A and B are shown apart, each in its own frame.
Chain A
Amino acid sequence: MAKTRSHKDLSLTNELDYQYISKPGISENLIREISAYKQEPSWMLAKRLQAFKIFKSKPTPTWGANLSGINYKKIRYFLRPIDKVAGSWSEVPKKIRETYQKIGIPQAERKFLAGVVAQYESMAVYQSLQKQLEKQGVIFLDMDTGFKKHPELVKKYLGTVVPTADNKFSALNTAVWSGGSLVYIPKGVKVDIPLQAYFRINAKQVGQFERTLIIAEAGSQAHYVEGCTAPVYAADSLHAGVVEIIIKPGARLRYTTVQNWSKNVYNLVTKRAFVYEDGIMEWVDGNLGSKTTMKYPSIYLLGTGAKGSVLSIALAGAGQHQDVGTKIIHGAPNTSSSVVSKSISKESGRTSYRGLIKIPKNVKNCTASVVCDALLLNKNSRTDTYPKMEVYEADSGVTHEATVGQIGADQLFYLKSRGISENEARNIIVQGFIEPIVKELPLEYAIELNRLIKLEMSGLVG
């Protein structure tokens, strides 16, 4: 196995010497190679190979967005930019640092963040953990290091929330996963600073198959933040991540994502959380980029008194399809959930909300509410709402509301009468529309999101 290969054929914005680049396409040999390269125990290899069989046997889902453009043979399934996981910022290669500076992370990172697991390509390149966190016993590592250091933890929980055979892409992820984060918060520990992982894809046809596992022990609290950006390339890319979260009794976790993949990426993510007695799970989800997103963060409320909430915002520009939604299963009595989903479609963009709320028989006193708002900006924009409420227990309350509209002429008129230009007025209205979700984001993300939406909106003539 050659350790250094150049790849001049890739038209990267920043040229990098990858220590290891897999050939495009997926095969059993490739999986063995990845596993051997990572020096994994045999049970993980067996798991990967089994997952590959499931991946091959499952058809590509056709019920949602159009996925016919994915060419599995052209995707590179494994890449790592540097040999070791860097211990401090200065050890991170200069070129990678430059790319990060363009997105504007370092300043924010140094001031506020506990530690960063920045996933550049398929592996973590940078990570720093504050001493305070280490003292508390919090594990916040990239998945590869985490697996080496805490194999018993990974073995115990990996695949328990999202089984390999859950869907085609969770099987693919299990077969070729690399990167992601491992987070473990011990009993009763409250982490005040958000735990951030920032990652991006930066090579042609690179699949990102990160695997994240978060375990919040009883009574603990944390906020995990994930953001993705990627520059523009020509060929289609695939991102199929899996996120598994376990919230033990009384624990509370918030998982925030701002997704801005380049407009040729298929973003097919499986995210799921199990919540036990009196636990609270909150998903905050922003979907801006990618060609096609299919992402339905789910919450399984498995203990009495558990709560779940999902806040999501989707923006679809020309040629984009954001097929997002949520699934909430009330598996225990006295549980409650709420979903707020906002979407904006402009030009030929399409946004869809696809959701399920399920209350099984004999699970008493559960309440759920769903609110979906869609904003259409152009006459060829499209929005869909596909909610489903399955209530098998009469002692419960489920509500759903959805509205579709455009920027109100009277709102525009009012702002224009105050001397604001039409473009600026539209901007203000859109920012107001998404405000309920933006205010839930950490400050620097809120700024970034507002900046991105402004960028998307600029030059838009109604």
Chain B
Amino acid sequence: MKNLNKKKLIIPTSLKPVILYRINGVQEIEIKVKPGVKAEVLILNNFQKPRIESFLKINIKLYQNSKLNFVEGISGGQVIETRSVVKLLGSGAECQVTNMFQGNKNEQHVFQILIDHQSPNTKANVLVKAVYKNHASGKFQSLIKVGQKAKKTNSYYQDEVLLLDSAKAISSPTLEILTDDVKASHGSSVSRINRDQVYYLASRGLDFEQARECITAGFFTSVIARLPKAFCQPFLFKE
């Protein structure tokens, strides 16, 4: 905890997207979105060195009628942990969280999110997409909590993990719903590459490696569709 990096971000008015970078070590970010504000936050890593260990804690508080589009893109690093808490405190608050992971070699990713609906008419939508190669692994844990006062809540969590080679993943999407008149659901899938898709591409003359690359790139399109235009640049594939 020596190089603890704390950052407070209070978003008072609707601004241009905010981009934050992850560092090697422990980091804490607090984001408060004031009533009625529409905010966009992007967290990226530009890990140049190998063997980066990064632990990030994010506390997000959303007040009345505020909106947040939160995006995190992670690739590389040795151990990358993200623990986020999203509190929907004011009625009408909305949050869209998008996370994208790419792991190679022995990389380990841990992702934890708590969506806490405390007020009525709140909305949350979480999408997590990950591709792991070689011996990489990912652990995804989520909890959607709907309190007794949070009527008319609409909450959705989805994680999709694509495993290649000897990669592995653990997914545990959980729900705790304490009242009726809500919509809450989650979906989770951990799977290999679709063989029919590989077959189709192979029939068009692509070899297995090429087909795999195509499918992996296509896998992320649903993430890119959720990004504001300003965010798209960093996600373009360099390979």
Contact = CB atoms under 8 A, between A and B. Distances in A.
A385 B175 contact: yes
Interface string A286-317: 00000000000000000000000000000000
Interface residues of A, number: 33
A399 B187 CA distance: 7
A398 B140 CA distance: 14
Interface string A372-413: 001011111111111111111111111111111110000000
Given A379-B148, A381-B180, A406-B180, A397 B189 contact: yes
Contacts of A402: 173, 175, 185-187
A384 B176 contact: yes
Chain B interface, DSSP helix/strand/loop, else mixed: strand
A210 B181 CA distance: 41
A451 interface: no
Given A379-B179, A380-B179, A398 B191 contact: yes
B197 interface: no
B168 interface: yes
B192 A381 contact: no
Contact of B185 (A377, A382, A393, A403): A403
Chain A interface, DSSP helix/strand/loop, else mixed: strand
Interface in B177-205: 177-192
Contacts, number: 114
A372 to B, nearest CB: 9
B174 A385 contact: yes
B220 to A, nearest CB: 18
B57 to A, nearest CB: 23
A378 B177 CA distance: 12
Interface residues on B, range: 20 to 34
A416 B132 CA distance: 52
A95 interface: no
B14 to A, nearest CB: 32
Given A391-B169, A394-B168, A403-B184, 8 more contacts: A374-B177, A376-B181, A390-B170, A400-B186, A401-B185, A404-B182, A404-B184, A405-B184
19 contacts: A376-B179, A379-B179, A381-B180, A388-B172, A389-B172, A389-B188, A389-B190, A391-B161, A391-B163, A391-B170, A391-B171, A394-B167, A399-B191, A401-B187, A404-B177, A404-B182, A404-B184, A405-B182, A405-B183
Interface of B: 132, 148, 161, 163-192
Interface of A: 361, 374, 376-406
